[in-house]
Amino acid sequence: MTLAIHGGPPVRSTPWPPWPPPIDPAQRKLVTEVLDSGLWGATQGGPVVADLTAAFASLSGVEYGVAAGNATLGLFAALRGLGVRPGDEVIVPAYTFVASATAVLLAGAVPVIVDVDPADLHLSAPAVEAAVTGRTAAIMPVHLAGSPADMDALNAVAVKHGLVVVEDAAQAHGATYRGRPIGGLGDVGVYSFQAGKAMTAGEGGMIVCRDRAAYEAIWSVCNVGRELGGQWYGHPNVGWNLRLTEIQAALLLPWLDRLDEELDRRNSFCAAVERELAAISTPDGQDGATRPVSVVPRPDGTTRDSRHLLMLRVHVPFDRDFLIAAMAAEGVPLDAGYPPLGTMTALTGAGARAEPCPAAAEAARDVVWVRQSMLMDDPANAAQIAEALAKVMAG
């Protein structure tokens, strides 16, 4: 099968919804209030950061939260607060954003890159177990694309080997696993509010946890080594200023009121894409059963997906760059997705260890992404994605 830019008018000629979505009146009001208050930072308290923190702890089903400047720093603070030390090993999936691994490097620890499940592309518990050594200290499951990693299986490995679990929840605000909110399933969960994430203030992060001692340690890491309630210039620990501002929190707190609605919208859109893709088959398929493209399935335990991305797997030989260019010409931009972390020489050069990762390598060849902003569109337009794919693949 060859792919060609088919010609004719593009399938989609109007723009997709913007990201971030336009700010709403509640955000504008709260940001203005914060600006007028003059209390822009949260060094000594900060009511909006405090409310946002409490709301995220509650969303995650845990008691404590610490706001951070971004999720990379949040993951670093979580690892440090949980006692991960230089030289310790931290297991991360091969198919994720690079920051999952660089946060480990920031803590002086060794990222151990292991393979993902070949079907759902989430961290594989058997691969994790096979990679555990005497130096392993932590596992970092990533709730990839907005669907939860297989936390029961990963927690079981952690319990068996005495490891801590840091959930990288950067892509999964509001997701649930077997009916339970993510973020509170491991020892610590970390959300991102970077510009591309499901809730954003341009930048920002949030750390949540259940354990009081972990909370106090992480708070100290993010607040220049201070002790909660301790002397202002005492600094009994080594820590940094990793704080979020009140202005950022004012963009995020009202967003929580519409998160459910946005998740529902993206889920409806994705369900429609899935139906439309099931209806197309290869043009030369004898029985019509061969599907050239399918939606990457979510892990079994997914009860609510935040649909940060829609991952599609292409089952026929194709030239990815050409497919992406041809789809863009049809008005349906796609992303190529992640190269396997183990192939990034900057990481291995900095000491990361990579296990064999054939499933991540395959995903890097065969998987393309539909962006979050497109998933915010009217589900009636989901057909355009299948239509453009069918047109391009028929070339």
Ligand X SMILES: *Cc1c(COP(=O)(O)O)cnc(C)c1O
- Give residues in contact with ligand X (CB under 6 A): 70-72, 96-97, 99-100, 142, 168, 170-171, 192, 194, 205
- In the complex, minimum distance from the CB of residue 69 to ligand X, in angstroms, rounded to a whole number: 8
Q: Report helix, strand or coil for 154.
A: helix
Give the nearer residue to ligand X in terms of CB position, either 205 or 299: 205
CB 62 within 8 A of CB 209: yes
What DSSP string runs through 327-339? HHHTT---B--PP
Residue with the CB atom nearest ligand X in the bound state: 71
Select 99 or 251, whichever has its Cβ closest to ligand X.
Answer: 99
Of the pair 194, 220, the CB lying nearest ligand X is at 194
Min CB(2)–ligand X separation in Å: 34
Which value, to the nearest 10 degrees, does the dihedral of the CA atoms of residues 366, 102, 177, 335 take? -30
**Residue 180 β-bridge partners:** 177
Smallest distance from ligand X to CB 99, Å = 4
Which is it for strands 64-68 and 205-209: parallel, antiparallel or unpaired?
Answer: antiparallel
Measured between alpha carbons, how far is 61 from 77 in angstroms, rounded to an integer?
20
Render 250-318 in DSSP notation, one character per residue. HHHTTTHHHHHHHHHHHHHHHHHHHHHHHH---TT-SSS---SEEEPPPPTTEEE---S-EEEEE-S--
Closer to ligand X by CB, 53 or 100: give it.
Answer: 100
- The smaller minimum CB distance to ligand X, of residues 184 and 204, is found at 204
Q: Give me the least distance between CB of 70 and ligand X, in Å please.
A: 3
Between 71 and 157, CB nearer to ligand X? 71
Write down the least CB distance from residue 307 to ligand X, Å: 14
Q: Minimum Å distance from CB 235 to ligand X? A: 25
